[in-house]
């Protein structure tokens, strides 16, 4: 067997195994998310923020904010329940590799080079609760909180995609879907979120 043939076989096997692992992660996450309406609430909230922030009429904005606050409360509550439920899963099922190469089952071979997605979801739940626009006292603070909450939601979505398809693909999807780079999202979340997130991502177990 020549080197080229061997390389093709190895590459094919690695590809199949990686796809299998990604499918397992996607099914696991989807199984737990199916109990909630998080994706729908998130989409409605982000669209609502864009609408109210672009609304020049003060009275109209005052009518929209309470509706968004209700959506926001439902999202924060449901995501907290999801994070609590996801936290009950075994660690070996909820790791995402932090390695630059998307190799199969490296979370088992090198658990030290992984992100504990259970902890990440707890972090996102806490960050979303802290950024609630409903806690604002004036219109300017509502705008600032809406901007921060949008970034928090994008980072949470990035974590979900990272767990399912890998960090690089997650960043590409973030850019394609929201026209926002991963690095820009990190600079837009709350300082407390960024500090905790970087500590979690860079942790070595």
Q: List, in order, residues 6 or more apart from 186 with CB less than 8 Å away.
A: 155, 194, 197
Q: Residue ranges of the chain with pLDDT lower than 70?
A: 1, 3-17, 101-110, 203-205
**In contact, 175 and 181? CB cutoff 8 Å:** yes
Beta strand pairing call for 95-97 and 114-116? antiparallel
Q: Is 179 left (phi over 0), alpha (psi -120 to 50) or beta?
A: left
Residue 115 pairs with which residues in a beta bridge? 96
Measured at the CA of 87, the angle between CA 82 and CA 93, to 5 degrees, comes to 110
pLDDT, residue 92, reads: 87
**In contact, 80 and 174? CB cutoff 8 Å:** no
**In contact, 37 and 71? CB cutoff 8 Å:** no
**How many domains is the chain partitioned into structurally?**
1
Q: Say whether pTM exceeds 0.85.
A: yes
pLDDT, residue 108, reads: 66
pLDDT, residue 202, reads: 85
pLDDT, residue 67, reads: 92
pLDDT, residue 133, reads: 93
Q: Show the domain range for 167.
A: 3-201
């Amino acid at each position: 067997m020549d080197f080229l043939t061997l390389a093709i076989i190895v590459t094919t096997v690695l590809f199949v195994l990686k796809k299998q692992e990604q499918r397992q992660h996607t099914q696991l996450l989807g199984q737990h998310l199916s109990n909630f309406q998080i994706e729908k609430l998130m989409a409605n909230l982000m669209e609502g923020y864009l609408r109210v922030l672009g609304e020049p009429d003060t009275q109209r904005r005052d009518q929209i904010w309470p509706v968004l606050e209700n959506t926001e409360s439902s999202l924060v509550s449901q995501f907290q329940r999801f994070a609590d439920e996801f936290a009950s899963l075994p660690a070996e099922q909820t790791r995402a590799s932090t390695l630059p190469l998307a190799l199969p089952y490296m979370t088992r071979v090198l658990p030290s080079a992984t992100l504990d997605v259970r902890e990440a979801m707890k972090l996102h739940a806490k960050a979303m609760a802290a950024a609630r626009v409903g806690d604002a006292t004036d219109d300017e603070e509502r705008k600032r909180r809406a901007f921060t909450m949008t970034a928090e939601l994008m980072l949470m979505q990035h974590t979900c995609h990272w767990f399912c398809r890998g960090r690089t693909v997650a960043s590409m999807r973030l850019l394609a879907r929201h026209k926002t780079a991963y690095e820009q999202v990190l600079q837009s979340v709350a300082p407390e979120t960024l500090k905790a997130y970087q500590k979690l991502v860079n942790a070595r177990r």
